[in-house]
Structure 1
Amino acid sequence: MDSTCSEKEDLQYCFEHINGSCYKTVRSFPFQVTLYFVFGFLTILTIGGNLMVIISIAYFKQLHSPTNFLIASLACTDFGLGLTVLPFSTIRSVETCWYFGEFFCRFHSCLDAFFCYASIFHLCVISIDRYVAVTDPLIYPLKFTMPVSRMFAAAAWTFSIVYSFSVVFTGANDEGLQELVKALTCVGSCQLVFNKTWVFISSLLYFIPFFTMIVLNSKIFSVAKRQARLIESVSNKTQSSDNYSNRVGKRERKAAKTLGIAVIAFLIFWSPYFMTVIIDAFLNFITPPVAFDIMVWVAYSNSAINPLIYSFFYPWFRKAMKVIVSCKILKLDCSTMNLFSE
């Protein structure tokens, strides 16, 4: 009897003076500090890295191309996620409570889904762009102009926001799960569930672009490898390996390789989350909250990875970052500088 009373006294609630408050998971102070540091660092890296990409492409005129416009638009989705979603998700994950109300819970979840699908569609469009650039370089400048890139980016943003808000904000995602939602609902929780119908539709919106990107990037690497062998063969005969067309061809293939790595990273980081959502929907939500939270943060990590990929594989991005960090753009007009000199 005494032990039962002491257990009740040790329990903590998200809101101590509100009936129906959720229980709060008690964590040691050092562990909380560590989690805040890790999630905070990930948030800052996501915001700062993607802001660098956006500024670089917007400022330097040499980077004003249809492909780079799509990359900048993709960086905007990751930047938006870091700025509007990750700070609140950090508090929820560390404190195990949602302190921002039911309305903002819905809105936060809408933004989460919106930026996720916007990233998927951007990567799919970028894969199509690179496929045409590598397989048909003569027609590519005519097909993928700046207006076409803007149209694709606008379509990705528009469809993502319409879909996310029409499903999550209206509550269509949990239709037929009222009993489960009622059992899970308490003051201080922000846990959304999806019925089988919307899990199926959401999965299609992930896996169709997933397989499209896999097929396109496989063909890109195959064609790029064949072109590299052909250029090497011609160069050995003509001794003209440094001509302009060869340099452009190498740049296109390197861009395709880099963006292919970004696509693979996205698939690796996001696939566990989508597989968990599917399993949960068809096996009565068996995934423990802690495991599910880990999957969510693994997916979030992808938004911080892309700028690191660019900085590792793109010399122009490293040079642009040096100019921006050193504040030279505030003193000199560097917008026309050559970023591809090497």
Structure 2
Amino acid sequence: MSSTALTDLCRLPIVQAPMAGGASCPQLAAAVAEAGGLGFLAAGYKTADGMYQEVKRLRALTGHPFGVNLFMPQPGTADTAAVDVYRQQLAGESAWYETELGDPDSGADDGYEAKLAVLLDDPVAVVSFTFGCPTPAVLEAFAKVGTVTVVTATIPEEALAAEEAGAAAVCVQGVEAGGHQGSHRDDPDADGSGLGLLSLVALVRETVRLPIVAAGGLMRGGQVAAVLAAGASAAQLGTAFLVCPESGAHALHKQAMTDPLFARTESTRAFSGRPARGLVNRFMREHGPYAPAAYPQIHHLTSGLRKAAAKAGDPQGMALWAGQGHRLARALPAGELVAVLAAEAEAARAGVEPGAAGSGSSGSVTR
């Protein structure tokens, strides 16, 4: 692994992905940072003050560097008529879970400017961006306060835009990734298909000179070694950390990861109006085929339904975000998982069995 401003921040080339919705809590990020990886907080769906309070809690837990992820503001291009039709189609869900549907117009900017102000006033080590690329002025402002900036890219053209704007690194997200695809523009005709991670890393390497953080379906140290060998400077894992005891994910979400009832993932607009990969459940099957391209309007519309389903103990109505490798999830403490991944990666690089490298991992799937 070549040294970069990003990888110099942590001892190991392992990044814990920022997972909006509660999984990436201060306890998880701190445990990863303490173990030598780069922990991340997810500022998406939080207020600027809520983000700041989490940063304060994380600083109290670790003195190691960490990152914060921001959602870029979304253009007001959603079809309000299509959103209204979807609202009517969800009336049965609202009655079933005995909860009101949310206000789709709760805001499309996610408090972006306020969050920028907080992070520029009280800088953290890394700030990453999803759903778009900041302006050169924003990236320059972060560089001046010593913050490393990372822009998510799902195609080479997005990586090039990040480089031209002045980003320090790019997070290359393959289609295997759980949760939302971080594309800069949401094509209403997109079906959730896209480039696999290894192909995308190779294409981006040919397009830009920026350091690459590779993300998408990575669950084992051997896969970490593979993306590093392909030219990435670090590997980012989300689903692998979601089941850790420190993760703030709902217990039902954690249990579903290795439940045979949830055997596969698909990309869907059903919960948020934007393609996102999750475990296939009833809600996805019933509403995915006609959910409109309207983010974050559909996210706000279904928010109450998802919370009510979780409260009722019904994973069939929850957004169970997960990458394609979810069945390989291991419910290890986050620090132990980082150590196991590092040992597996080193064993793969050296061409020996993980056990011979002292990883302590049986390689079994958690049940």
User: The TM-score by the shorter chain falls in which range?
Assistant: under 0.3
TM-score by length of 2: 0.25
When Rg is computed on C-alpha atoms for both structures, the one with the higher figure is 1
User: Per residue, is there more strand in 1 or in 2?
Assistant: 2
Q: Which has the higher contact order (CA 8 A, sep 6+)?
A: 1
